[in-house]
Amino acid sequence: MLQRQSIPQVGAQDPELPNSPIAEEEDEDTDVVRQQVPGEPVCYFNGSSYKHGEYVMSGTQVLKCSYGVWVEADSTY
């Protein structure tokens, strides 16, 4: 299990910088979002790249990079 202090705090997405889409795990549109970035090996958040499987914290929301799409991580992190 990850410790919150080990997850980088990235703040809110800046629309002027490269960002990958954020999709809720149970979102009906998740498949549509994934089609926009099929199988990307990294996610972007405010111009920084993160590998598949890495986590970031945006405010109190923990996000996990899943092949080019940010998904909300389990709240136990």
**What confidence score (pLDDT) does residue 25 get?**
61
Question: How far is residue 31's CA from residue 23's CA, in Å, rounded to a whole number?
Answer: 9
Structural domain of 49? 4-72
Q: How confident is the model at residue 30 (pLDDT cuts 50, 70, 90)?
A: low
Residue 77 lies in a domain: no
Whole-prediction pTM: 0.77
**What confidence score (pLDDT) does residue 4 get?**
56
Give which of 73, 20, 72, 21 is closest to 49, Cα–Cα. Answer: 20
The model's pLDDT over 54-66, given as tens digits with 9 standing for 90+, comes to 999 999 999 999 9
Domain count, the chain: 1
Greater pLDDT, 74 or 73: 73
Residue 63 lies in a domain: yes
Residue 43 lies in a domain: yes
